[in-house]
Every structure is written in structure tokens, then in C-alpha cells.
Structure 1
């Protein structure tokens, strides 16, 4: 694997037909390749330095890392979609105004197979490289390595807020109030006479 090439991956589940796609981005010497595959067909486009700068300006992106983050965020939040056309696909990233759209032409049979093979080996080399540089804990390194290939999920559970403790509430059992020591009652027999 060429270690000058940086690669990022995420998965997209198309809402329209529930088809799963692998989105891949490769950068090398300032050039960017964006591609999409369903494991049988491959759609891909290359950006030169000039076309990449124009594309990033159009979508108000400041860096390649911002570009990767936008795509990965959309993959994780199900706000990326794929529209199949005769000669390729249109990848839409985001659902708000300023949605990033990419027209990716379909690659022919021999070129598509070559891209799939290269993609498979890049991913395998990336996993092997992560395993060889892993720390002492294999469980943590395995978790970290496979996270690169999955979209990031946003926490969607209910927010848990800490309740402020009222004066007199028990620290051990917060639902109960602290019992105060009895002060006693004064009974005077002299008042009854």
C-alpha cells in the first residue's frame, strides 16, 4: 500500500431502496478521488487541485478534513442518499441548504474490477497496519480499527440531567428526606389545675 495515500471509508444506506453502499475517499499529493460501490458496480470521480478548490469553495469547505467530516457525518445520520442514473449516480450529502452533491460516473467493467480490487487491498492493508501498531490491549485496538470503516453514530437517547439536591434530602437515598432528631414535648401537669 502506498503510505502517501490517505483513505477514508464510510457506509451509506440509501433511504429509497435500502441498498448499502461503501463510500471511499483517497487523497494523494493534494488530489482527491471520491468513489462509491455496492460491491458489484463502482462509481468514481477524480478532482485535480483546481477542480477540488472550486468544489470546496462552492460548498464552503475549508479543508479536506472538513470534506471528510461532512461526508462521514451525513453517513452516520442517514442524511446521505444515492440517486441511480443511466451513466452514473448522484451522491447527495446532507439535507439542508448547501447540500453537497457529486455526480459520479460509472466505471467500465475492467476498470471497476481494478478499483474494487485496489479498494479491498487498501482496506486490508489498513487493518493490518492498525493491528501491527496496536497497543497492549487487543480489544481496544480492534475496536479502534474497525471504527474507521463504520459511520459515526450520534447519541439519540434521552438526555439525563442531574436533579439538584434539595436541603434535607438524603445523599444515600435521594427520594427520602432526612429524619430530624426528636426535640421532645413538654408536658406540664401544673397547667391542668
Structure 2
């Protein structure tokens, strides 16, 4: 799995079981962990500082992760096994990860307008491209265009 590709999964709020999309992507050379319910967006950059703050674990427990890449891969793996949940707070969301490497959490600040709607828009297009591929570079002539699923007779 390419760590720098956009990746996403559905996670649940621990309290009310609301659904969220947790996703990672790379922007301007920096990995990001993000969360959205399609209305609000929470996001943080995964830097060495973020990594060091999160891997300490609770009660001084040390987490067996060595780099920010390990951190992202651990999140992805745990999500695939149902080991990721969310707790919402007033101005942030806490993503909780339980995995073989240990338990950790990362706090994601809420994005404000106009960044939040723009982030949701970018996510939707990333998701579509992951299913359909990138858009064609050359323009399609009107008579060549056929909506998917429509046969011309």
C-alpha cells in the first residue's frame, strides 16, 4: 500500500455511533490525518512533533512505531480491523487507535470556513478519482460524449 496515496475508511463516534470518514492524504509534501461528517472537517498535519506527542501512549506506555510513515500505516491497518473510533469535543475531534502496536490518539482541530467546505470538495474528487481514474486531459467532443450506462442505437 502506497503510504502517500489518499486513503479513507468509515469510523464511528464512541458515544452516539455517528459515522465519519477518516482519511489521510499528502499536501505540500506533508501527510495529513483528517476526519469529516460531510459538514465539519477536522484535520492535522503529521509532523515529527505530532508523531512524538502521540506515540508516548497513556501512562507512559511506549508505542512500537518508529516514524510518521509507521504512524499512518498503523492508523490504516487499525481502521481495517475496526480499531479506530472518534470522540468529538467542542473545537476538536480525537481519533483513537487500538492496534497491536499499542493504543494512541491524535487530536484534530476543527477547520473553519472556507477551508472546511473546500476540504470536503477535494475529498469527494479524490474518492471519485480513486474509483474512476483522473479526468481526461483532452476535451471530449460533444458527439463523442455518452453518459455511463446509456447505449446509442
Shared fold (TM-score, shorter chain, > 0.5): yes
Q: Could you tell me how far 1:21 is from its partner in structure 2?
A: 0.8
TM-score by length of 2: 0.68
Check 1:62–1:30 CA distance in 2 against 1; reply closer, same or farther (3 A cut): farther
Q: Take 1:73 and 1:47, find their aligned partners in 2: how far apart are those partners? A: 17
Structure 2 unaligned runs (5+)?
57-62, 137-153
Q: Could you tell me how far 1:79 is from its partner in structure 2?
A: 2.5
Q: Take 1:96 and 1:125, find their aligned partners in 2: how far apart are those partners? A: 32
Structure 1 unaligned runs (5+)?
133-193
In structure 2, the residue matched to 1:62 is 66
In structure 1, the residue matched to 2:140 is none
Q: Take 2:69 and 2:82, find their aligned partners in 1: how far apart are those partners? A: 20
RMSD, aligned CA? 2.8
In structure 1, the residue matched to 2:88 is 84
Maintained 8 Å contact 2:85/2:95: yes
Maintained 8 Å contact 2:34/2:44: yes
Q: Could you tell me how far 1:113 is from its partner in structure 2?
A: 0.3
Maintained 8 Å contact 2:95/2:107: yes
Check 1:95–1:14 CA distance in 2 against 1; reply closer, same or farther (3 A cut): farther
In structure 1, the residue matched to 2:32 is 33
In structure 1, the residue matched to 2:133 is 129
In structure 2, the residue matched to 1:23 is 22
TM-score by length of 1: 0.55
Q: Could you tell me how far 1:82 is from its partner in structure 2?
A: 0.9
In structure 2, the residue matched to 1:100 is 104
After superposition, the C-alpha distances for 1:69-126 in whole angstroms (9 at most, x for unaligned) are 3223322333222111111111111178831210000011211001001111111122
May I ask how many residue pairs the two structures share in their alignment? 126
Q: Secondary structure at the match of 1:99?
A: strand
Q: Secondary structure at the match of 1:94?
A: strand
Q: Take 1:103 and 1:69, find their aligned partners in 2: how far apart are those partners? A: 17
Q: Could you tell me how far 1:37 is from its partner in structure 2?
A: 0.5
